[in-house]
Amino acid sequence: MASILVIDDHPDILTALRRVLEGAGHTVTEAPDGPTALRWFAGQPRDLVVTDIYMPGMDGIELIVRLRETFPQVPVVAMSGGGPLYKGHVLGAASKLGGIRVLAKPFTSDQVLTVVDEALGAS
């Protein structure tokens, strides 16, 4: 199974994703923001990154760009529930920047596992 870094500023989302992913046999590390995620990832790269787009400080778009600069091969799943822009536009932009899969909030456990499996299979 895969080692996955999940980044979101909402603890309830982190908890939900951890439960789903660990239930499927993956190892999960949580980060509350982009800078923390980059530090942890640099110290121990993971097989997959799942990141929210709208976060304070460093948003998910910037995080994806910075990950791509140093770790261009790591698969990324970008997720968003909306925000100032329509979530479809934001997730489309993330995909073009290197988020190879996208996940719209709210999501089901099955949707999470499908997207994660697709992202890991594409790497």
**Mean pLDDT, the chain cut into blocks of 10 residues (123 residues total):** 96 97 98 95 94 89 90 89 51 56 87 94 66
pLDDT at 82: 58
Residue 65 belongs to domain with CATH number: 3.40.50.2300
pLDDT at 31: 96
pLDDT at 95: 55
pLDDT at 102: 78
Provide the domain count of the chain: 1
Q: Give me the domain span that covers residue 18.
A: 3-122
pLDDT at 85: 45
Measuring CA to CA, which residue among 96, 90, 56, 58 is closest to residue 76?
96
Contacts of 63 (CB under 8 A, 6+ apart): 7, 34, 37, 38, 51
